[in-house]
Amino acid sequence: MNCLPQLEAADPCQTTANIDDWQRSVAFGTDTTQICDNVLAEGWYRVTSNAGELMPTECPVGGFRCNTAKPIYLYVDDLPVGVEAYPSVGVTVNRTAYASNYDGNCKHTEYDIQIKNCDGYFVYFLRSIEGGCTSAYCFGDQLPCANGETSENGFTPGCEIFPDVTVTPYVKVTLTEREAVNRHNLAMVYSNATFECHADDLQDGYNYTTRWYVNDIEMKDATLDELSKTDVEAGLGRMLEEHWTSTYKPNMLVKCALQVGGGGFTFYGPQHKSPVFFAGLQIDAASSTNYQVKEGEELEIPASLTMPLSCAWPKHASEQQKTFIKQKECLLVLLNGVPDYQTKGCTNGVTKDGLVFTSDYCGIKFSHSNWQDPQIIKIMGQIDQLANIEDRLIFLRLYNADKVAAKGPLIYWKNIHTTDIKIYVIDKDVNTLGQSCYSNNDPHMRTFDQQYYELQTRYNMPEGEYIMYKHVSAYFKSCYTGILCNCGVAVRSGDSLFVANYCETKYNGINKVNRYMKQRLCDDRSLIVTKTSSSYTITIPTGTKVTFNYGSNYIDGINILPSVLDTNMTKGLCGIYNGDKKDDYTPRDQLTAVKSTELKTFVSSWLVDGTYADETLFHPNGTLKETEYYGQQYCTCVTPNDTYPHGDPEFDCELTSAMRPCRNTKTTLGVYTVDCATVATRKKRDASVYEQDDEEPPSYPMDSDESPSVNITEKWHNGWTEDSARQHCTFHFENAAAYNVCSEYVPYVDTDPFISGCILDIKSTGGDSWMKVSIKNFASACLQESKRLEILTVTNSTNSTGVDKPISSIIEESTCPDNCSNHGLCVDEECQCSDGYHGELCSFTASQAPTVIFDAFEGLCDSSKKPCRTFIIPGYDFINGSSLTCKYTTIILKKNDTDTLLEEDNAFTHSGIYGSSQFMYCKLPGSRKKRSTGFETVATGYRISVSNNGQNYTDPVTTIVYDSTCYECDTTTMSCDILETCPIKAEEPSEESKTKVWLIVLIIAPVFIILIVIAVIIFKWKVKPKQSYIRDSSFISMPDTSRETVARRKFLDNENIFFKTFLSESDLHDKKN
C-alpha cells in the first residue's frame, strides 16, 4: 500500500490517500509478505492499482487470497433486487464487507464501509481490521503480464510481446505562450507553466507514448500517443495547466512515463517512469528542513520555486506595461509564521513566539519575472529570558493566506502551504545568569560585570538623579548624616514611563515627601509592571527586568537583570555589559574607563543635571525629552491555526527587539495609571475642564531649597566593631529562610556582597536597622534569578513541610520578606497571614491605626484643577477591609469686609477605600456646606483621621479646598487671601448696573415673544398645504431634510434654535394626523 499523507477534505473525492498494491488482487494468492490492515488509518482511500479498483463481490472461499489469510470482499447478497453494488456518479452508499476465513466461513468478521462514485473512479471509506493479523481488503482481479509481455497497462488481459527498448525519462518545466481572447473580448497573451517529458536515450524508428502522474494519480487527459523521437525532444510530450489545476495545487509530486512502441509490434512496452519532480515551493534542500539559530541572532533560510509562475497580459500592451504586469501583478506572496498552537501563553513575561522576523511584511514574494531567483526568509531566535533545559524546537510555516491570495493566472496557488520547517533555537540566556546590576540600601553598587563600589556623600558624591542603565534612573537622597539612600526609580520605554518616588524635598519652604507610583503606558507592552509582596518588576521590550523593593520610607533595593540583547549596549552606573569589568567605569561621552581612584569622575558624569537636565525621568508633570530610535524593526508572525486553508495571520511589526513581552491587561495594585492619550489630551484641554482627577497622587519638584549638611564619620560606634558586625550579619543571613535553598539551587547569587553591605550599614548607622533590608534584597535577587532557570520548574524537592514540589515553588515560599514576621505562610511569593494579622509582611493587627506620613499629604486642593472630592492619605499599614474608615471634621473659611471667620462642623465618618498598603482614599459622601449671612465662603476644608477598625484613629491631616484663580491659602495659618486678579472680583457688577439689566429684560422679552408667535403663524400658513399632498409612504420614511419646503429651509438655515425645536414637533404632529 502506498499512502500519501491524508488531509481533511470536505469532498471524499479529493482524498490524497491512495492504495496502489496489485497483490490485493483476488487473482493473487499469498507469499511470505502477507498484507495486514490493522494499521490502516480510518478514512477515505482511492485505489490506483492497475490490477483493478473494484472489490470482489464473491467470497474467496478458504481464504489465502489477496496476499492475506482472511481476504475482505464486498458482500452484495443482502442488497434489494435492482440495487447495484456500486453507486451512480456523485452518490455515496453504505455497504457491508466480510472477511473470508480459511476454515470456509465467508462471514468471519463484518466491516461497515462506504463507497462513492467520483465520475471515473471510486473512493472507499475503510476502517482498520479487528482481531489481529492477518486480514486485508481486496481490490481488483487482474495480474501483471508475464516477463517479456505487456499490455496497455501492463496487466492482464491482452498481454503480448513488446519492443525490448529501455529509456530513462525526466521532467522539465518551462513557460509556453499562447494567444487567446478573454471573456471581455480582449486579445491576450497567456504565459503558462508547462511540464515536459524528455529522455536523452530515445531511439529512431519507434513511436512513444507519454503519460503523466501527479501524486501517483495518472492524469489521463494528458496522455499523448504516437509521438516521434523528434516530437519528444521538442517537448511535445507535455502536461498543461488544464490537466491538473482543477484537482491539485503546487507542492505536488510529478512523474512522467514513456512507453516505446511501433517497429512492427502491436503493443507499446511497459512504462519507464521518471524520477519524482517536486513542483512548488522548495526550502533549501540541503538542510532537510532542519535549522539552528541562537537566541538574538539572525538566520537566513533560502526558498525557491521549482516551477514558473503563470501570467497574462494584453496582446498589444507596450513593453513597459508588460514589464509592470510581470513584476507587480503576477505575484505569489507567501507568509511566514509560527503556528499559534506553539505560541499560546507566556513564560517569565515573554510570549512563546520562538522566532521573530526582520522582514517588514512577514513573508516572501515571487513574480513572473523573478521566479527562478531564491527568496530569503530572515529569522531571529526569540529571547525568552530563560536558561533552557534543552534547545527549543519551533516550527516555521510558509503559506498563502486569504488576504494575499493569488489571483487570475495564479489562482491555483491560493491557500498553498509548505511542510513545517523545524527550527532549533539555541539558548544564550544562560550567559546572563548572575550578571545583574544593583543599587542596594545606602547604596551599595554593582555593575553588570560585577564591579563593586559605594556611592556616598562621604566620597563627595552629590545627591540627585543618576542614570543606571539606558533609560533607567535612580534618585539618591541623603537619609542619614553623610549617607545617600535609594528613594526613587524611573523606567522609560519610548514615551511610556514608570516612576516610583519616595524622595523628600523642600518645596516653597515646606518639607514635603513624594510618595507615589505612576505609570504612563503608550501601549500594553512598552512596560509590563507586576507586583509581588513588597516588590515591583518592570519588564521593558528588550526583556530586561528592573525589580525594586520598597519599605516604609525608601526604595530598599534596585536590581536590573540584563537580557542577551543588552550585550555591548548598556551605559550608566551599571557599566558596559560585555563580560569585561575593566571598562565598567567609563564616564559619559568618553571612550576609556577611569581608575577606581577616580570613581567620582565616573559617577558624577551620569548625574542628570546641568547640560543633561532634560534627560530627567522625575519631572513632576511627566515631561520627557524627545528621543528618536533608529533600531531594527522586528515582527512576530503567528498563523491562526493548523487547519487548511489557513486564515489571516496575526502580525506585530512594531517590536524594537527580538522578543515580544506579554500583553499587560491588569491594573497593578498601588500604581496610578495614565495612558499616553490622556496626557496628550491634558495638554490641549480647555481651562474649564479639570486637569487632574482626585486619585492622581501629588508630585513635588525634586529640586530642594537647600543642600544637606554632611558630617562624615568613618569610625565604629555604639559598641560595634567590624568583627562583631560580621558575626552578627552572617548569623542572621544563614538563619534566613532563603539562605539554604538559594545557596544550593541558585549559585549565581552570592551572599558575600550582601553581608559586606550589611557590615557597612552597621558602621554607617551604628545599628542593624538595615540588616533586614539586606536580607530582603538577597532573597529578592535569588528569586529573580531562579525564575530564569527552567530546570527548577521541572525538578522536584521536598519543602519544610515535607511536601514534594518543584524547586522553583520552594524558593518562592522561602523569599517573602522577614519570613512574614512569623505570622503567616509564604505562598506564591506573597504572605498569607494568620488570623488577626495583616499587611504585606503580616506585621500588624487591625487594632493598630495606620501610620500617616503627614509631609506627603496634599494640604491644599485647588478646585479649579480637580474635583477635590477624594483625598489620598499616604502612609503605610493600611488594611484592605470593610472596617477601613475616614473621619472628617468640616472646616469653613469665611470673610466679610472686615473679619475672617473659621467654622468647624460636627465630625462625621465614611467608609475608606483601600489603595494599597501604602495609601488609602477618603471620599466625601456628599455636599455638607453651610451658609452664614453676611459672610462669603472663600474656602472649605477638612481635618481627616483614618482607622483600620473604625475605632482607633490617627492624628488628623488638614486640607483646604480653594480656587487658585481667586485665592491664596495657607494651611499653617488657616487663612486665605483674595487675589487682585480674581475674575469674580473684577467682574462684580454694581447694584445700579443690576437694576438697569432687569429693566432692559422686562422691556425686550414681551416684544421677542410676539415676534416669535407671528413667525410661527406665517410658517404654518405656507408649509401646511404642501405637506397634505404627500401620499407615498416611502417618501415619508426619508430623512426630514428631504421633505423640507423652501420656506422651512430658510428658517433652518438661520439656525434658530426655537424654530428647529418647533418644526420637529410639528413634524411629529403631521405624522400622527
**Mind listing the pLDDT tens digit for each residue in 444-494?**
999 999 999 988 766 678 889 999 998 899 999 888 666 788 999 999 988
Residue 230's pLDDT band (cuts 50, 70, 90): very high
Contact 740, 749 (CB under 8 A): no
Cα 904 → chain centroid: 56
The CA-atom distances, in angstroms, between 337 and each of 296, 342, 379 are 18, 11, 10
Q: What is the mean pLDDT of the chain?
A: 82
User: Could you tell me which of 78, 148, 146, 133 has the C-alpha nearest to residue 106?
Assistant: 78
The confidence band for 710, taking pLDDT boundaries of 50, 70 and 90, is very low
State the Cα–Cα distance between residues 84 and 94, nearest whole angstrom: 12
Residue (of 484, 452, 450, 482) closest to 466 by Cα position: 484
Q: What integer pLDDT is reported at residue 528 of this predicted model?
A: 83
Please report the pLDDT score of residue 985 as a whole number.
54
CA dist., res. 902 & res. 939, Å (int) = 10
Q: Residue 8: is its pLDDT beyond 50?
A: no
pLDDT at residue number 652: 56
Helix axes 752-765, 722-734, angle to 10 degrees: 130
Nearest-angstrom CA–CA distance, 216 and 277: 12
Reported in sequence order, the residue ranges of 917-1016 that DSSP labels E, i.e. its strands, are 919-923, 936-947, 957-962, 967-970, 975-978
Give the pLDDT confidence score for residue 984 in this predicted structure. Answer: 61
Domain range summary for the chain, segments of one domain joined by +: 12-137, 149-279, 281-430, 436-525+549-627+671-684, 722-814, 855-986, 1005-1072
Tell me which of 858 and 1049 has the higher pLDDT: 858
pLDDT of residue 1001: 57
Q: In the CATH scheme, what is the homologous superfamily, with its name and number, of domain 281-430?
A: Immunoglobulins (2.60.40.10)
Helices (H) and strands (E) in the chain, counts: 14, 63
Element (H, E) at 422: strand 421-426
Whole-angstrom Cα distance, residue 783 to residue 879? 26
1006: pLDDT strictly greater than 80: no
Task: Return the pLDDT at 277.
Answer: 96
Q: Which residues pair with 911 in a beta bridge?
A: 885
pLDDT in tens, 49-83: 999 999 999 999 999 999 999 999 999 999 999 89
Domain spanning 855-986, CATH architecture: Sandwich (2.60)
The per-residue pLDDT for 250 is: 92
Residue 437 pLDDT: 95
Percent of the residues in the chain that have a pLDDT greater than 70, as a whole number? 79
Instruction: Report the pLDDT value the prediction gives residue 108, as an integer from 0 to 100.
Output: 92
Residue partners of 418: CB distance under 8 A and separation at least 6: 251, 280, 281, 283, 334, 397, 398, 399
The band of 1057, judged by pLDDT with boundaries at 50, 70 and 90, is very low
Q: Give the per-residue pLDDT at 473.
A: 95
* Dihedral angle computed from the Cα positions of residues 788, 791, 794 and 797, in that order, rounded to the nearest 10 degrees: -100
| CA distances to 195, 196, 359, 377 from 368, in Å | 17, 19, 22, 19
Domains 281-430 and 855-986 share a fold: yes
C-alpha cell at 92: 455515496
Question: Under a CB-based contact definition with an 8 Å cutoff, are residues 260 and 142 in contact?
Answer: no
pLDDT of residue 649: 55
Per-residue model confidence (pLDDT) at position 1045: 33
Residue 164 predicted with pLDDT over 90: no
